[in-house]
């Protein structure tokens, strides 16, 4: 008994010593960072360990408005410091300071806050870092070849036609919010182009999968800004944590079933392209391949195929990133056109010039000729970027406009505020598509307009 007792005490003492050593190390790093960050302009009051967290608004919209207000108040400062609990953040909203981070191959790691996406997205293209990210990016880039994207135009036209028919029924009546209609259309498009599966979201918005996508996004955003919900053992014991698990099961089960189905279809196909089924379940020939089809045949340099889990995390990533960002861009573009009838008329005239009296789906050649519409979309993305803020973790200490920012600090880039810098966009709150005509945008700082990020980790689908 005495031997067992002494052994137990010894193990406890070793464990306690280990905890103390780790705690002291973390405390030392924290205090050192606190001291180095002291000169950086920041909001107050700020308390040790708690930081500014007590000041943060609860709702997502209120929190975002709060951060934007800070950037307005500190517009003349080169950067802004915020402590979210024990984590330090520098907020960047000037072209040169943003470039200092995004143009560096050393600062490519996503912020700590992105880890809350990992239960759903794994470590796919959005959340992975280092060699894994480089390998996946190299492997996936060919799937965004222009000719492949042209095949997806057919899906976009099909779903856009359904959307227009829905909106026509609501036209010339009382005001309505088109956000849901646009989002469901975007979901239909990304689901068919990414997975090769029709989910009919536009006609069945009560779909379990559709509702799970919506809810999961809300849950992740809420958790990211509440530090005391970061530990898994706390979060997953709450009501929201249990909702997270339920929605995750629905999302992964759906993706798993689609991957297995497409794998079986590929196994019995005699061609490289799949033989998908039509609405009645019968097979039909088609050269159009979904993103998933290309992932199923993609290989590493050593010749090995991607594993099931690796395919799922990339498909889930494109489902998450592809529908929400596109829907936001379309919604804001429509809102701004409706709010500016004179600009809407210019777009209408350009459409008449390109299409005339013909009622036909647009082609890639048509899109090239819609130059003013292109400016409208870019100006909409300037005012309302689909991703209004994103973050990186600094892998090395760096100097930003004279301030020494230590390694490990999170850099938050705010395109919403960056795009409103009067130095690059005079009258920044005004909707002026002409800003993006070639003669007006020539010479503009390359990091003044980054709706799809910039540098090595820019959006893989960026081809504006």
The pTM score is 0.84
pLDDT digits (tens, 9 = 90+) for 384-438: 999 999 999 998 888 999 999 999 899 999 999 999 999 999 999 999 999 999 9
Architecture of domain 137-320: Orthogonal Bundle (1.10)
Structure tokens at 376: 């409208």
- Complete DSSP assignment for 36-93: HHTTS-B-S--BTTTBTGGG--SSHHHHHHHHHHHHHHTTTSS-EEEEETTEEEEEE-
Helix (H, G, I), strand (E, B) or coil at 225: coil
Beta bridge partners of 109: 393
Q: E strands of 87-157, at which residues?
A: 87-92, 109-110
CA distance 193 to 172: 33
pLDDT at res. 284: 44
For 305, phi and psi rounded to 5 degrees?
Answer: -80, 160
CA angle 245, 247, 251 (to 5 degrees): 115
Which residues, including other chains, have CB under 8 Å from residue 252's CB and lie 6 or more apart?
120, 312, 316
State which residues of the chain have pLDDT below 70.
1-27, 58-60, 145, 269-288, 461-464
Which residues, including other chains, have CB under 8 Å from residue 182's CB and lie 6 or more apart?
163, 327, 330, 331, 334
For residue 269, with 0-12 CB atoms within 10 Å meaning exposed, 13-18 middle and 19 or more buried, which class applies?
middle
pLDDT digits (tens, 9 = 90+) for 90-133: 999 999 999 999 998 888 888 888 899 999 999 988 888 888 88
pLDDT at res. 256: 94
Structure tokens at 33: 């960072």
User: So where are the chain's domains?
Assistant: 2-127+383-457, 137-320
- Determine contact, residues 288/275, Cβ cutoff 8 Å: no
Domain 2-127+383-457 in CATH 3.30.43.20: yes
Average pLDDT for the chain? 86
């Amino acid at each position: 008994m005495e031997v067992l007792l002494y052994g137990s005490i010894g193990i406890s003492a070793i464990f306690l010593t280990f905890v103390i050593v780790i705690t002291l190390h973390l405390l030392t790093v924290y205090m050192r960072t606190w001291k180095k960050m002291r000169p950086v302009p920041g909001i107050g009051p700020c308390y040790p360990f708690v930081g500014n967290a007590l000041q943060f608004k609860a709702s997502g919209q209120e929190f975002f408005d709060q951060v934007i207000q800070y950037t307005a108040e500190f517009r003349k400062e080169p950067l802004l410091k915020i402590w979210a609990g024990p984590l330090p953040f520098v907020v960047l909203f000037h072209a040169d300071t943003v470039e200092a981070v995004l143009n560096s191959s050393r600062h490519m790691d996503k912020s700590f806050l992105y880890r809350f996406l990992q239960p759903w997205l794994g470590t796919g293209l959005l959340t992975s870092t280092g060699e894994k990210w480089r390998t996946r990016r190299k492997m996936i880039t060919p799937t965004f070849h222009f000719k492949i994207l042209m095949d997806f135009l057919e899906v976009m036209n099909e779903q856009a036609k359904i959307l227009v028919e829905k909106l026509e029924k609501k036209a010339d009546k009382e005001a309505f919010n088109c956000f849901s209609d646009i989002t469901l259309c975007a979901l239909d498009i990304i689901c068919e182009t990414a997975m090769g599966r029709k989910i009919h979201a536009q006609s069945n918005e009560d779909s379990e999968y559709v509702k799970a996508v919506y809810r999961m996004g809300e849950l992740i955003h809420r958790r990211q800004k509440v530090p005391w919900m970061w530990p898994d053992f706390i979060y997953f014991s709450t009501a929201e944590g249990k909702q997270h698990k339920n929605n995750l099961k629905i999302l992964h089960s759906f993706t798993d079933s689609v991957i297995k189905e497409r794998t079986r279809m590929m196994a019995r196909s005699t061609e490289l392209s799949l033989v998908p089924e039509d609405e009645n379940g019968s097979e039909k020939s088609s050269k159009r391949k979904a993103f998933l089809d290309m992932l199923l045949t993609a290989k590493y340099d050593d010749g090995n195929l991607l594993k099931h889990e690796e395919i799922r995390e990339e498909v889930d990533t494109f489902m998450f990133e592809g529908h929400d960002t596109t829907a936001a861009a379309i919604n804001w573009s429509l809102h701004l056109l409706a709010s500016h009838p004179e600009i809407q008329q210019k777009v209408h005239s350009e459409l008449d010039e390109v299409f005339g009296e013909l009622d036909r789906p647009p082609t890639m050649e048509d899109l090239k000729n819609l130059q003013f519409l292109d400016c409208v979309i870019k100006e909409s993305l300037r005012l309302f970027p689909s991703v209004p803020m994103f973050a990186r973790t600094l892998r090395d200490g760096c100097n930003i406009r004279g301030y020494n920012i230590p390694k490990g600090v999170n850099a938050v880039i705010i395109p919403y505020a960056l795009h409103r810098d009067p130095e690059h966009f005079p009258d920044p709150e005004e909707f002026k598509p002409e800003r993006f005509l070639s003669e007006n945008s020539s010479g503009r700082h390359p990091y003044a307009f980054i709706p799809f990020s910039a540098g090595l980790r820019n959006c893989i689908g960026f081809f504006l």
